[in-house]
Structure 1
Amino acid sequence: MTDANANPLHKALFRILRPLARLLLRNGVPFGEFSELVKRAYVEAALEDFSDGRRKPTDSRAAVMTGLTRKEVKRQREILAGQNPARESRSNANRASRVVSGWVHDPAYQADDKQPAMLDFEGAGSFTELVRKYSGDMTPRAVLDELMRVGVAVVEPDSGRLQLKQRAYVPAGDSEDMLQIFGEDVSDLVATIDHNLISRSAGKPPLFQRTLTYDNIPADVIERWREISAERSQALLEQLDDWLGPHDRQGSGSQGEGARKVRTGVGIFYFEEPIQPDTSGDKRS
């Protein structure tokens, strides 16, 4: 087996797995359970992403590619067929996010200045109608309780109408919805990097991927930097949302049966870690 210290891919994987291991341990997921999920992901990738497009991929071929036995491939394939985590229906987080997006972009729920209107809970043009239009079968009360819990919506004291305070729904903590977003965000980032690694040889244009990084910033600057980066990142996302949001066909009645659909977006994340002092005694030139 290749030495992990010499293999660039192994080095990159270890760096990815280190914070992932921390999250798994905090949530009580032992290695055996994680190992099962890895096997499942290997089998699904072998069966779906590496088919030649002419014939149905076989368990034998997947076993050769993954290093698993045919019996194990069959077991994992049957689990995938019964309950595929990669193809779950929309989570509550996605449903709540859809409601917020509809509130921002749908003219039926905007004020005269094109900003999100204050809504009655029931009636024509109400929050209840908004939820039924954008969230599927979630009850309006459940959606409102969640939006109020995270501070996205409030009840205006004088009128009793509902006001949108933030344009984005972000659940807090290690909740089920937050873990759903974690899975989507990390998956999207890895998929973009994978695309860019092979884009040149595949004759495809690379996807946008940039990171701003400094590693010698004084600690007394960090608090202000957090504020500035959050403010400007939010402003950029809102500008992009203003352009892309109106093109979303959800709830517009113009989705079309055979129309091709694309999932797309832009992700921004902030990172910060202390630099450990070099105790090796080596001096860098």
Structure 2
Amino acid sequence: MKSSIIQSAIGKLLKPLVVLLLRSSVSYQQASEWLKIAFIEAAEEIGPQDKPATTSWIATVTGLNRKEVKRIRDQGAGDADDAIDRSPPVNRAQRVINQWMTDPDYLQSDGEPSALAFDGDGVNFSTLVKKSSGDMTPRAVANELERQGVIEITSTQTLQLIQQGYFPPPGSDKQWVLAGQSAADLITTLSHNLQVDTEDARFQRMVSYRYLPVSQHAAFEQLSNKKLTESLKELNVWLSQHAGKSPNDIDEATARVSVGMYLYKSDSKE
């Protein structure tokens, strides 16, 4: 494959990332330091299978000088000593919503989430939170979900789910974590599919039309939101029936799986 094709593809991938960095006041100097760290961590991940990747080997495959590799690896070892967990966090508010949408105890006969009393006898919002989110207090979860417009309190003082997902506030730490994980999952899938035979590729599809009239954008966005939400809800139900809430719930090896959906819309003609 011509290097110019790879350069063009990677350039398309990097440009929106650089736009995000510039809008977030991240300089080239800071971004280049992060890129060095990513190069080293990636080299360690794909390194020799029979032995640990050495500093010299990482320097060779990444093009970084040995002194830089050692500095960054030593810095990373300090992070490990502090027991920093880099695994993607599971949002507890989202777990409550998932339980509400999939647990038969909290569903109506038509499969829609029931309106719940905050507490009291039988199933209620407090038992839902305890069942799905452990040590989070029901009041704190209710306040957060109401603040985000995910639930509403009805005239009878019951809690009604009105959105089927939890959306962190724009620009919040939680939204940054979600954005990073979503983009990483997509790029990891793209990387996998570029290196395997067709029969071993993971699902990756898109539909794209270049010349959709702007007057039709709102209608298409409404349609896609409806259809994609329906698909995600169905997948969520299946996963909730087969996945554990922690590694201790399953008697065999486990791994994280994810399906992401997004709508792209250009600001102008491409």
Same fold (TM over 0.5): yes
Q: Which amino acid aligns with 1:259?
A: E
Counterpart among 160, 173, 194 of residue 176 in structure 1: 173
Change beyond 3 A, Cα 1:260–1:119: same
* Alignment of structure 1 residues 160-171 onto 2, 5 Å: 160-171=157-168
2:115–2:160 contact (8 Å) kept in structure 1: yes
Cα distance in structure 1, aligned partners of 2:136 and 2:53: 38
1:36 aligns with 2:33: yes
- Pair 1:40–1:137, CA change in 2 (3 A): farther
Q: Does 1:272 align with 2:265?
A: yes
Q: Kindly indicate whether residue 236 of structure 2 is the aligned counterpart of residue 219 of structure 1.
A: no
Matches within 5 A, 1:195-210: 195-200=192-197, 205-210=200-205
- Pick from 95, 99, 114 the counterpart of residue 117 of structure 1: 114
Contact 1:215 1:275 in 2 (8 A): no
Aligned residues of 1:119 and 1:127 also touching (Cα < 8 A): yes
Structure 1 SS opposite 2:241: helix
Contact 2:88/2:181, CA 8 A, preserved across alignment:
no
Q: 2:119–2:126: 8 Å Cα contact kept in structure 1?
A: yes
Amino acid at match of 2:154: E
RMSD: 2.7
Please identify, of 63-72 and 81-90, the stretch whose mean Cα deviation from structure 2 is larger: 81-90
> Residues 238 and 29 of structure 1: is their aligned pair in 2 closer, same or farther, counting only changes over 3 Å?
same
Write out per-residue CA displacement over residues 87-107 of structure 1, whole angstroms, 9 at most, x where no aligned residue.
43554x722211111111223
Q: Distance in 2 between matches of 1:162 and 1:106?
A: 16
Report the CA distance between 1:230 and its aligned residue.
1.1
Tell me the residue number matched to 2:22: 25
TM-score by length of 1: 0.82
Normalization by structure 2: what TM-score? 0.87
> Are residues 121 and 80 of structure 1, via their aligned partners in 2, closer, same or farther at CA, if it must alter by over 3 Å?
farther
Residue 149 of structure 2: which of 145, 148, 151 is its match? 151
Q: Paired residue for 1:46?
A: 43
Give SS of 1:7's match.
helix
Please state whether the residue corresponding to 2:196 is helix, strand or coil. Answer: helix
Q: Who is 1:186 aligned against?
A: 183
Using a 3 Å threshold, how does the CA distance of structure 1 residues 29 and 143 change in structure 2: closer, same or farther?
A: farther
CA distance in 2, matches of 1:57, 1:94: 34
The answer as to whether partners of 2:117 and 2:158 remain within 8 angstroms in 1 is yes
Question: Unaligned regions of 5+ residues in structure 1, if any?
Answer: 278-285
With over 3 angstroms needed to count, the CA separation of the structure-2 counterparts of 1:149 and 1:78, relative to structure 1, is: farther
Greater helix fraction, Structure 1 or Structure 2: 2
Structure 2: unaligned runs, 5 residues or longer: none
Aligned residues: 266
Partner deviation per Cα, 1:228-269 (whole Å, 9 max, x = no partner): 111111122222223332212117x9713x521121132111
